[in-house]
Amino acid sequence: MKHKDSIHAISTQLTKLGRNPDMQHGFVNTPIYRGSTVVFNTVDDLENSRAKYIYGTLGTPTIESLETAWSEISGAAGTVLSPSGLGALALALLTTLKSGDHLLMTDSAYRPTRTFCSTLLEKFGVEVSYYDPLIAEKIVDLIRPNTSTILLESPGSQSFEIQDVPAITKIARAHNIKTIIDNTWATPLFFRAHDHGCDLSVEAGTKYLGGHSDLLMGLVTANAETWPALRQTYDSMSMLPGAEDCFLALRGMRTMHLRIKEAERRGLEIAQWLLEQPEVKQVLHPAIPSCPGHDIWKRDFKGSTGLFSFILHPEFEKPALEAMLDNMSLFSMGYSWGGFESLIIPFDCSEYRTVTTWAPGGLALRIQIGLEDMDELKIDLRLGLDRLNRWAHS
């Protein structure tokens, strides 16, 4: 049954879901329930688990509030939590794979996911092969008799290709193959993965759900068909975040829609500005028409966020890039994103791509647009590009 709040717009839902003041003496938010042991009044209650909560790893009011809210937002049958985004991906993969299975993974996947597959999964007898993220329905040619899972990530990590998710999930379902998507960039606010046929959807709540760079969190949602297997995997591992992190995630959820819409506005403004800078060869932002898969993004997504990449012209080499980045004033260098601060890092996908060639024709940078003054962010970038020029032409 749908929650009564699902009739409301998403911004309203985010203020209502995952809390019940009537159960909390009128206080607005679910408090932090920090605990392991749950006590029972009788032997009969103990032996028959007659209690809403049985043990701390199986749920508390704080954990349940986040799980139920995220399930409603995602259009999912259920949600489980993890201490990190990578942990959530591991939970999803372990739900659908067993020894002897074959996994098809997009070549644009988050690099730590690849490492998990090439170490732990292959160690336990899972075959892993990679596919071009833009392959769409031609993925059918890569399916083997033992293919049990296809992993998608749209847009691709760092390179931002948009996959044709409905085309791939349709083929997967016809072959009884489970699909998992890393949906961290868009979140369920801009892309409801289950509505597009995905069995499992993974988000790193570390990013836009937390929103303040002080939280590690992973979430996995499942459709009705896959939910029992996901919950069983989760219960077998008891790999869950702490109560304080769940509380922070719930608090972040209340303002998530406002923040993500502002991230979209700011990201697009800086992306358009970078297109006009003479040092920039290309901008990889799904809402920019020149980005691979833009038409699919326009068809399937409700918006974009504040993370994207851009490519410099080939005349600039690493020493010039170091002169640019080492002296930025507002942009910091760091691997996460989705917080309040602006970040920028260099990257090179050619180090790990295996079935596609990463050859953008220049040095690549990934950029996260935070909440600083926009004019000052442009000045910081412009001064950095000036340093790049001076070093390159000195």
**Angle of helix 256-275 versus helix 243-254 axis, rounded to 10:** 70
User: What digits encode the pLDDT tens for the residues 197-235?
Assistant: 999 999 999 999 999 999 999 999 999 999 999 999 999
Which CATH code, of 3.20.20.210, 1.10.3720.10, 3.40.190.10, 3.40.640.10, is assigned to 4-254? 3.40.640.10
Residue 260 host element (H or E): helix 256-275
Residue 340 Cα distances to 207, 262, 263, 271, 345, angstroms: 10, 11, 9, 18, 16
Please enumerate in sequence order all residues whose Cβ is within 8 A of that of 354, keeping only pairs 6 or more positions apart, or say none. 107, 130
pLDDT of residue 1: 36
Residues contacting 390, CB < 8 A, separation 6+ = 323
As a whole number of angstroms, the distance between CA 334 and CA 83 comes to: 20
Q: Tell me, what's the pLDDT at 2?
A: 46
Residue 27: its pLDDT value, please?
A: 74
The answer to whether the beta carbons of residues 336 and 206 sit under 8 Å apart is: yes
pLDDT value of residue 13: 87
Find the angle CA(211)-CA(114)-CA(106) to the nearest 5 degrees.
Answer: 90
What's the CA gap between 391 and 380, in Å, rounded? 17
Three-state SS at 348: coil
Q: How many alpha carbons lie under 13 Å from residue 132 in its C-beta half-sphere?
A: 13
The 3-state DSSP class for residue 207 equals coil
Point out the residues of the chain with pLDDT beneath 50: 1-2
Residue 37 burial (CB count, 10 A): 6
Q: How many CB atoms neighbour CB 349 within 10 A?
A: 20
Tallying the residues shown for the chain, one arrives at 394
- pLDDT at position 5: 55
Cβ neighbour number for residue 354 with a 10 Å cutoff? 10
Instruction: State which H helix or E strand residue 165 sits in.
Output: helix 165-174
CA-based nearest residue to 250, from 120, 70, 26, 114: 70
- CA pair distance 302, 296, nearest whole angstrom: 11
Residue 17: per-residue pLDDT:
81
Contact call for residues 300 and 196 (beta carbons, < 8 A) = yes
Does domain 257-392 fall under CATH 3.40.250.10? My reply is no
Rounded CA-CA distance 361/207 in Å is 30
* Cα distance between residue 334 and residue 128, in whole Å: 29
Bridge partner list, 105: 130, 151
pTM of the model: 0.93
Question: Could you state, in order of their start, the residue ranges of all structural domains in the chain?
Answer: 4-254, 257-392
